[in-house]
Amino acid sequence: MSVRGTGTGATGAPGSAPGRHVVGREDFLALARARGGARRVALLRAGQLSKRMLLVRALREAAGERVEEAYRGLVALNREDPDAWREVMLQPYLDEGAARTLVALERGEDVDTSWFDRLVRAPYAPEGAPWPRVRTVCEGRVLDVRLADRGPFRDAHGHPLAPPLTGPERERWARTLEEAWRVLVRRHPWHAEAVAACLTTLVPLEPGPDGGGVSSAARRAHGAVAASLPEDPVLLALGLVHEFLHVQLGALLDLVPLHGPPTAARHHAPWRPDPRPAGALLQGTYAHLGVTDFWRAELAAGTGGPRARREYETWHGHTDAAAGTLLGSGELTPAGERFVTELRRAVRRPHPGAPARTAPLTRGRLAAELRALGLGAGDTLLVHSSLRALGPVEGGAETVVDAFLDVLGPAGTLVVYTQTPDNSDPSRWPGTRGYAVPEEQWDRLRERLPAFDPDTTPAFGVGVLPETVRARPGALRSTHPQSSFTALGARARELTAHHAPDCHLGERSPLARLEEAGARVLLLGVGWEVCTAFHLAEYRLPGRPRQTYSCVVGDGAGGRAWYTYTDVRLDSSPFARIGAAYEADAVREGGGDLVRGRVGAADCRLFGLGPAVAHAAVWLADHGAGVP
């Protein structure tokens, strides 16, 4: 595979005759897997250099005398010091500045070109003061970046910029970068190699509106990423990987078209509420390959705990689904199809802790193993699950649902949590969706967010099984617009009816009805941290903090309306400790009502909902949880 580039190698004068850039097959596939390394980064940066040479020539032709002196200085610099010339040409914001200036000149606007002269003279001191430099070394690998806390064109990142850094702020950035770099070198060395070869500039951003972290890459700022400073260096390491892959894909797209011209078609992105053009979905999918890969490695290192497993499973599913959408979109070029196919193979790499693949589980075998665990006819069962932990199943999630119904029988009831926390105000999305959007987009998103419909709105962030149950004929769903449950079986109607719209998971929710019904809970391949039943205990604590929630509901006339209410502030952060304590008590008591076992490859816990809630209420009270 080869493509004609837009310039020569590193030795030509700015804008000299176009040469040829070749992306070989192995290079291309390595980039698709996000395993390009420094050698492929160098290939892409050569392409960026050629692109910028032509941009500079175009700028000279359009601006004339206004940039002639700076242009001649650049030519002289190339003769005298090619390394310094490359540093100027690859300053991240040369591309953005030239593009904006060319557009303004074409429109006949009066444009200030003095930025070009300043950039040529001092590429990393755009306003006279040098950008602070951070150089950190771990196990021989060097990260050398400048903190771009001033200067033009940084607004290309689309988020509020932090003001110029103070001395203590520079020191904090340096410390956090040093810690993040250790994370990358020791646990993600393939990403560390590529990031070090490409990243020269980091733009400090303000935190998101709710104080959460934000990060960004800009299409015409190769070599730069932007981020707010998180408390956790692991999150900064993750942000560097995520945004670097945006940068890397942008450089590849300058050499190899992976999708056709823009069309009116829009495609679902699992991590966003708004459908995306094919190009934007491709960018997001590739960057989230990096996120999936990051959490896979954290799992393998044994350092990420429940968070790593939760994040890995979420982003593995989202990224795999988005790759499938792209492959079925009809908008990829042949090269794009090869790229996304290889990307999807990389997503599907098993992590080292994944159970070994065996012969696919059948409906009959699943039913037998569920009965062996202790489930029986007539049970009312709330299930939290990871089908990936279960292992391969013949027929997939539909077979799993069938097996549950076979065991529970006509008198039993299968219940799943079909939450929709994504139905929330955009200002809350860092907490409810896991990402932030710029404040200037909030009003537009508020106008477009669809109303919750219990019949059609998909569940968010709870896996495949709840969605499969929700879509089953005969399934009934409670009507809470953010915290619904879906039930299938004899008691479905009584369990899901009368879910108060201002009560997520308390006495006026299906959780209380499940407790009254003597329901059991099955954690299938997941940990205590997702045990929704523990939330019922939170409602039973006096003085529990409350907060305001907002979501979109139907207005009864075919339209939509925002609904705002106050309810208990939910906090699942102690659930893993609550569950561990409950399990320890059960062991001391000879097992109690808690059963441990395996179904397929999944580690399972089966227990009574009522006793678990009672234990959680005592634990929370003893530990002072819920006191403002």
176: helix, strand or coil: helix
pLDDT over threshold 90, residue 576: no
Give the pairing of strands 520-524 and 380-385: parallel
183: helix, strand or coil: helix
CA-based nearest residue to 507, from 604, 613, 436: 613
- What per-residue confidence (pLDDT) applies to 357? 52
Percent of the chain at pLDDT exceeding 70: 94
441 near 272, Cβ under 8 Å? no
- Joined tokens for residue 463: 């896996």
420 near 428, Cβ under 8 Å? no
Strand order in the sheet with 520-524: 476-477, 485-489, 413-417, 380-385, 520-524, 602-608, 595-599
Altogether, the residues listed in the chain come to a count of 628
pLDDT band per the 50, 70, 90 thresholds, residue 15: very low
Per-residue pLDDT tens for 185-209?
A: 999 999 999 999 999 999 999 998 7
Percent of the chain at pLDDT exceeding 90: 69
Per-residue pLDDT tens for 475-504?
A: 999 999 999 999 999 999 999 999 999 999
Angle at 245 between CA 243 and CA 251, to 5 degrees: 110
Q: Mean of the pLDDT values across residues 215-243?
A: 96
pLDDT over threshold 80, residue 351: no
Per-residue pLDDT tens for 268-279?
A: 888 877 789 999
389 near 316, Cβ under 8 Å? no
Q: Which runs of E-coded beta strand occur in 132-240?
A: 133-138, 141-147, 201-204, 215-216, 224-227
Per-residue pLDDT tens for 384-419?
A: 998 888 888 998 899 999 999 999 999 999 999 999
Partner residues linked to 595 by β-bridges: 606
Low-confidence winner among 39-43, 191-195, 560-564, 583-587 (lowest mean pLDDT):
583-587
How would DSSP label each residue in 483-501?
Answer: S-EEEEETTHHHHHTT--T
Q: Mean of the pLDDT values across residues 354-383?
A: 87
pLDDT band per the 50, 70, 90 thresholds, residue 356: low
- Distance CA(185)–CA(297), nearest Å, equals 12
Partner residues linked to 477 by β-bridges: 486
Q: Mean of the pLDDT values across residues 540-557?
A: 90
Q: Which runs of E-coded beta strand occur in 91-200?
A: 133-138, 141-147
- Distance CA(454)–CA(438), nearest Å, equals 29
Domain boundary assignment for the chain: 260-287+305-350, 363-544+570-622
272: helix, strand or coil: coil
Which H or E run contains 114? Answer: helix 114-121
Q: Mean of the pLDDT values across residues 237-245?
A: 98
Q: Is the pTM of this model over 0.75?
A: no
pLDDT band per the 50, 70, 90 thresholds, residue 577: confident
- Distance CA(103)–CA(111), nearest Å, equals 10
Question: For residue 126, with 0-12 CB atoms within 10 Å meaning exposed, 13-18 middle and 19 or more buried, which class applies?
Answer: buried
Mean pLDDT for all residues in the chain: 90
Greater pLDDT, 259 or 583: 259
- Distance CA(571)–CA(580), nearest Å, equals 17
pLDDT band per the 50, 70, 90 thresholds, residue 335: very high
Cα–Cα distances in angstroms (integers) from residue 354 to residues 266, 296, 351, 576, in the given order: 34, 10, 5, 21
pLDDT over threshold 60, residue 92: yes
Q: Mean of the pLDDT values across residues 11-24?
A: 63
Per-residue pLDDT tens for 518-547?
A: 999 999 988 898 999 999 999 999 888 999
